[in-house]
């Protein structure tokens, strides 16, 4: 439920309301708006508890939350949230573009690509040090050595880094380098991992699962939010359907749907969404037009030699062209790259 406080509620009254909720066994999440402060309360509610809360000084009203996702929904927070990753903001007027290779393969490879995407205007750098793959025989990433290379690429370019974490035990190690955690599609419902990143102060990018509904996706985000981390960015990366011409089916309708029912920013990954580099540009333009709060694309200077996802990776010159074209689309819908 949501406890809406009066506009004139004092700091002491707000503190007293929170303490009363804790006495009743609720977990609380405070959201301070321009006009009013609201408290999201998660726990078992009874008529007696609600009545006593309504009588507490500073409380205006109690509003039940009907959706299963209590903290991710618009019922809890009517205005859209923004998530800052250093100087990069998701959910604002700008549409940040994250770019880089699927996997960190070597220092030379990573630095070459990092410098190229930075020159073309990328806001953040991506690269997988840990790679959960469908086949146990596929390249699984350089792990700790990959993190060290990412740290060097970050130092050289100045770009914030997002990289995947796959095990709860690796959260601290990845956090030492990454500016943002990525939870991959295969780990969307790894609840132990979601709670672990939820206890961190690092922003989290949560990719949609391979066959996840939007409600399941938001419930996964709820694990992170309920653990105390409010900085969550959703990432639509395509879902599995019967279609075989593309790697996945990129569900761009998820962007306006998320904006309607959730306050969380949502970005789009057209590389995994299509699996074909020629489709990345048109789907990137479509994503921006649909209202995406950012893009994440794969770039490789030698995609024919890439150890993973070469067919869906843009060459640096293709990425530069993409950046120029999506800037025009962004301007047409009142945004900017």
DSSP string over 152-180 = HHHHHH---EEEE--SGGGHHHHHTT-SE
How much is the pTM? Answer: 0.89
DSSP-assigned states of every residue in 219-274: HHHHHHHHTT---EEEEE--B--S--SSSSB--TTHHHHHHHHB-S-EEE-HHHHH
Q: In which band, very low, low, confident or very high, does the pLDDT at 63 lie, cut at 50, 70 and 90?
A: confident
Report how far Cα 167 is from the mean position of its chain's Cα atoms.
18
Please answer whether residues 205 and 240 qualify as being in contact, where contact means their C-beta atoms are separated by less than 8 angstroms: no
Confidence bin at 97 (pLDDT 50/70/90): very high
In 14-110 the beta strands, taken as DSSP E runs, fall at 27-32, 37-42, 59-63, 83-85, 88-90, 97-100
136 band by pLDDT with thresholds 50, 70 and 90: confident
Q: What is the mean pLDDT of residues 105-113?
A: 97
Q: How confident is the model at residue 138 (pLDDT cuts 50, 70, 90)?
A: low
How confident is the model over 239-251, as pLDDT tens digits? 999 999 999 999 9
Has residue 285 got a pLDDT over 70?
Answer: yes
Mean pLDDT taken over the chain: 93
Element (H, E) at 14: helix 11-23
- Whether the pLDDT of residue 133 is over 70: the answer is no
Residue range 180-202: average pLDDT? 97
Tokens representing 133 are 């793959």
* Cα–Cα distance measured from residue 139 to residue 327, given in angstroms and rounded to the nearest whole number: 35
141: pLDDT confidence band, cut at 50, 70 and 90? Answer: confident
Q: Which two tokens stand for residue 88?
A: 């990069």
**Token digits for 168?**
């709860």
CA distance 322 to 333: 17
Q: Which residue has the tokens 């990425």?
A: 319
Extract the tokens encoding 11.
């700091």
Is the Cβ–Cβ distance between 125 and 298 less than 8 Å?
no
Asked if the model's pLDDT at residue 202 lies above 90, the reply is yes
Q: What is the DSSP letter of 81?
A: P
Q: Are 184 and 208 in contact (CB under 8 A)?
A: no
Residue 132: pLDDT over 80: no
Backbone CA torsion sign across 271, 274, 279, 283: negative
Least confident of 21-30, 34-43, 93-102, 284-293: 34-43
Give me the domains of the chain, ranges plus CATH numbers. 2-63 (3.30.70.1140), 83-332 (3.20.20.70)
- The confidence score (pLDDT) of residue 37 equals 85
């Amino acid at each position: 439920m949501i406890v809406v406080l009066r506009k004139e509620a004092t700091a002491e009254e707000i503190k007293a309301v929170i303490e009363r909720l804790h006495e009743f066994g609720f977990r609380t999440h405070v959201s301070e708006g321009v006009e009013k402060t609201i408290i999201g309360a998660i726990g078992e509610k009874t008529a007696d508890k609600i009545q006593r809360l309504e009588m507490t000084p500073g409380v205006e009203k109690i509003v039940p939350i009907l959706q299963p996702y209590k903290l991710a929904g618009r019922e809890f927070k009517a205005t859209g949230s923004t998530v800052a990753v250093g100087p990069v903001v998701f959910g604002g007027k700008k549409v940040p573009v994250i770019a880089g290779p699927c996997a960190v393969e070597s220092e030379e490879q990573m630095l070459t690509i990092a410098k190229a995407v930075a020159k073309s205007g990328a806001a953040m750098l991506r690269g997988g040090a840990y790679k959960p793959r469908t086949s146990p025989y596929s390249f699984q990433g350089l792990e700790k050595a990959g993190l060290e290379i990412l740290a060097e690429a970050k130092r050289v370019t100045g770009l914030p880094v997002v990289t995947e974490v796959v095990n709860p035990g690796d959260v601290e190690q990845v956090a030492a380098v990454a500016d943002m955690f990525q939870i991959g599609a295969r780990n969307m419902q790894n609840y132990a991992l979601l709670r672990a990143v939820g206890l961190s102060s690092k922003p989290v990018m949560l990719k949609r699962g391979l066959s996840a509904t939007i409600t399941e996706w938001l419930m996964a985000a709820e694990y992170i939010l309920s653990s105390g981390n409010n900085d969550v960015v959703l990432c639509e990366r395509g879902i599995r359907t019967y279609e075989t011409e593309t790697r996945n089916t990129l569900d761009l309708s998820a962007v306006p749907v998320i904006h309607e029912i959730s306050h969380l920013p949502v970005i789009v990954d057209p590389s995994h969404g299509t699996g074909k580099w020629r489709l990345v540009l048109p789907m990137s333009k479509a994503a921006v037009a649909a209202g995406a709060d950012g893009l994440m694309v794969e770039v490789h200077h030698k995609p024919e030699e890439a150890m993973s996802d070469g067919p869906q990776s843009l060459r640096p010159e293709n990425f530069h062209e993409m950046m120029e074209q999506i800037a025009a689309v962004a301007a047409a819908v009142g945004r900017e790259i």
